Amino acid sequence: MGHDGYAPPPNYIVGIGGSAGGLSAYMALLDALSSHTGMAFVIVAHLLPTANTQLAEILSRNTTMKVELASNAMPIQANCVYVIPSNSDLTITQNAIFTVVSPRIRRNNQVDLFLTSLAEVMGPHAIAVILSGGDGDGAKGCRHIKKHGGTTFAQDQSAEVNSMPLSALATGCVDFVMPPGQIAEQLQKMV
């Protein structure tokens, strides 16, 4: 499938998982990021059903990249930020196109689900970033990303709620532990 000419496919796709306390972390990460990395960023947040649209609006103030809700069959473009739609499971297919299934099958499983599909599609060009959040969603996803040669990050003690980053760390599959601003710098070095 061709892209519509203007938008190259991303060189890396960064899956960003977060939950409670994640908002300030997403904002800090985007604030510190260049808008020309050639990467695509996908924010998989556990949110109340109405909050996802608001999240996209809030985050668009923190970056000059285009921020939009992921929708089914949407191709993933470089230098764009995507937010998981509410009450959905989000995965990507072989040609970097989103698949959205709503309503979601299980609670608090969306980060693992997305990262697992990301690992299979992007291999060494898959990146996981686990930010502030309760529960252990994302840990299994980090394992898959590492197994396929990708890179993994977890937020350090700056996380407001640290069970998501700590669960990821416990897998032994996390490459970098840093505050969001430094994660952004490290991502830029990878390009």
Domain containing 184 — which CATH number? Answer: 3.40.50.180
Nearest residue to 86 (alpha-carbon basis) of 55, 117, 116, 114:
55
Upstream peptide bond of 103 is cis (omega within 30 degrees of 0):
yes
The pTM of the full predicted model, rounded to 2 decimals, is 0.94
Is the predicted pLDDT of residue 3 greater than 50, yes or no?
no
Instruction: Determine, yes or no, domain membership for 7.
Output: no
Residue 77 lies in a domain: yes
Exposed, middle or buried: residue 61 (CB in 10 Å: 0-12, 13-18, 19+)? Answer: exposed
Q: Quick one: pLDDT at residue 95?
A: 87
Provide the pLDDT for residue 7: 63
Over 80: is that where the pLDDT of 23 sits? Answer: yes
The answer to whether residue 28 sits within a structural domain is yes
Find out whether 32 and 181 touch, Cβ atoms under 8 Å.
yes
Range of the domain at 178: 13-190
User: For residue 8, is it within any domain?
Assistant: no
Is residue 116 scored above 50 in pLDDT?
Answer: yes
Within a domain: residue 52?
yes
Any domain includes 2: no
Look at the chain and report how many structural domains it folds into.
1
Confidence of residue 1 (pLDDT cuts 50, 70, 90): very low
pLDDT in tens, 55-106: 999 999 999 999 999 999 999 999 999 999 988 999 999 889 999 999 888 8
The pLDDT value given to residue 159? 96
